[in-house]
Copies of this chain bind each other. A is one copy, B any other.
Amino acid sequence: MMVNVKLDDFDRRILDAVQRDGRVTADQLSETVGLSPAAVQKRLKRLRDQKVILQDIAVLDPQKLGPAMTVIVEISLERENLGVLDQFKRRMRETDEVQQCYYTTGEADFVLILVVRDIHDYERFTRDHFFGNAEIRKFKTNIVMDTVKVGLSVPVWEE
């Protein structure tokens, strides 16, 4: 379960760089962080092994793949027992249209970020996943008009 990973400032600088651009070479990185290319590569390998770097991915433009719409949905469940919760989570993880899913406190139990083709596609989604599901008490839909900022970047804080 090793949650305790200690990172120094070199690690932080590397992480800050690769989360902005994962294609920077160790050579370029060596200059910005102040280590040799080989040292940078060793650290990168360690950071991946330790799952500080979870994955390296390409970010696509949804629009370019065809008509696309982002929808944010807040869901309240009927009653929260573990079985229902886990089943719902599993289903969200398995569903392609679900880009992100958060289990939250507050008004909503879940917040989903979906990418669907159009409003009809979303209507179909609600039929398949919400109306057909007795556990869902209500849900609230927010259509995204402007994706102001997207990313998965995390502040790399100084200690």
| Contact between chains at A99 and B59 (CB < 8 Å) | no
Q: Count of chain A residues with Cβ under 8 Å from any Cβ of B? A: 71
| Contact between chains at A21 and B106 (CB < 8 Å) | no
Binds B, one of A30-38, A129-137, A147-155: A147-155
A selection of 30 A-B contacts at a CB cut-off of 8 Å is: A12-B65, A19-B59, A50-B64, A51-B64, A52-B65, A54-B59, A56-B58, A57-B57, A57-B151, A57-B152, A59-B152, A60-B152, A60-B153, A60-B156, A72-B102, A72-B104, A72-B111, A89-B148, A96-B153, A96-B155, A99-B152, A100-B149, A100-B151, A102-B142, A103-B147, A104-B145, A106-B142, A107-B142, A111-B142, A151-B152
